[in-house]
């Protein structure tokens, strides 16, 4: 397993360590067939994709039984790393591009991740409701929240009320905070991880009532 993950998450189980270690070879193999990660970024997979996704685990520790929808998951981020980190949480990863979902399914199967379901489709078409919706720079958060606003359960299981947990750059968060008001919180990732890549990155939480 990449040292970066154990650096910030030292208390992983042997199975979690094994699954994180499996991601590297699996993504390299599948990225050669179906390009879901840029050639430059595949060399930095553990920092720029896996650890970046796990910044969400520094903001919230999901209660067992939590159900999460990862919208526009691409190659499986942040959903796949979070599913390893929270094996008792149910993740549905959705993307409108079928070949990306093929990679997600293959990686989840290859790494033995049991709590992931990958769907080729649009979030708006899903009937199910969730505790949280995640995403990573899919679109601006105003548009994203409009897509998923009606996907929230009413009952709260976790320390944070149900809503969106989103990975994005810090640059537009001031404008978004003005738009959303008190329901909007920003967590700079540089507060969690010391690597230079995270200087301009944030986890954003937006409370959405079910």
pLDDT per residue as tens digits for the range 77-115: 999 999 999 999 999 999 999 999 999 999 999 999 999
pLDDT at residue 201, as a whole number: 97
What is residue 74's predicted lDDT score, i.e. its pLDDT? 93
Q: Facing residues of 67 across strands?
A: 90
Q: Respond yes or no on whether the N-terminal peptide bond of residue 154 is cis (omega within 30° of 0).
A: no
* Three-class DSSP category at 126: coil
Q: Is the pLDDT of residue 1 over 60?
A: no
The string of pLDDT tens digits covering residues 134-149 is 999 878 899 899 989 8
pLDDT at residue 139 in the model: 82
Mapped onto helix, strand or coil, the DSSP state of residue 62 is: coil
Q: At what angle do helices 141-148 and 173-180 cross, to 10 degrees?
A: 40
Question: How high is the pLDDT of residue 186?
Answer: 97
CB atoms within 10 A of CB 152: 21
- Classify domain 3-207 by CATH architecture: 3-Layer(aba) Sandwich (3.40)
- Token digits of residue 26: 């699996």
Give per-residue pLDDT as tens, 34-81.
888 888 889 899 999 999 999 999 999 999 999 999 999 999 999 999
Name the 3-class secondary structure at 109. Answer: helix
What would the pLDDT profile of 153-174 be if each residue is shown by its tens digit?
999 999 999 999 999 999 989 8
Does residue 210 have a pLDDT over 80?
no
């Amino acid at each position: 397993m990449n040292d970066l993950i154990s650096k910030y998450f030292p208390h992983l189980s042997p199975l979690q360590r094994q699954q994180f270690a499996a991601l590297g070879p699996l993504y390299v193999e599948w990225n050669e067939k179906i390009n879901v990660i840029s050639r430059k970024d595949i060399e930095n997979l553990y920092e720029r994709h896996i650890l970046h996704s796990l910044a969400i685990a520094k903001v919230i520790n999901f209660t067992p039984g939590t159900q999460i929808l990862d919208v526009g998951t691409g190659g499986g981020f942040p959903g796949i790393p979070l599913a390893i980190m929270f094996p008792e949480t149910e993740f549905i990863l959705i993307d409108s591009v079928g070949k990306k979902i093929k990679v997600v399914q293959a990686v989840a199967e290859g790494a033995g991740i049991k709590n992931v379901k990958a769907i080729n489709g649009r979030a708006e078409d899903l009937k199910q409701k969730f505790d949280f919706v995640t995403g990573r720079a899919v679109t601006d958060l105003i548009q994203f929240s409009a897509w998923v606003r009606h996907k929230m359960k009413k009952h709260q299981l976790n320390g944070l009320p149900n809503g969106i947990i989103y990975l994005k750059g810090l640059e537009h968060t001031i404008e978004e905070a003005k738009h959303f008001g008190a329901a909007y919180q920003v967590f700079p990732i540089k507060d969690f991880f010391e690597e230079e890549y995270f200087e301009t990155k944030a986890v954003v939480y937006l409370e959405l009532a079910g």
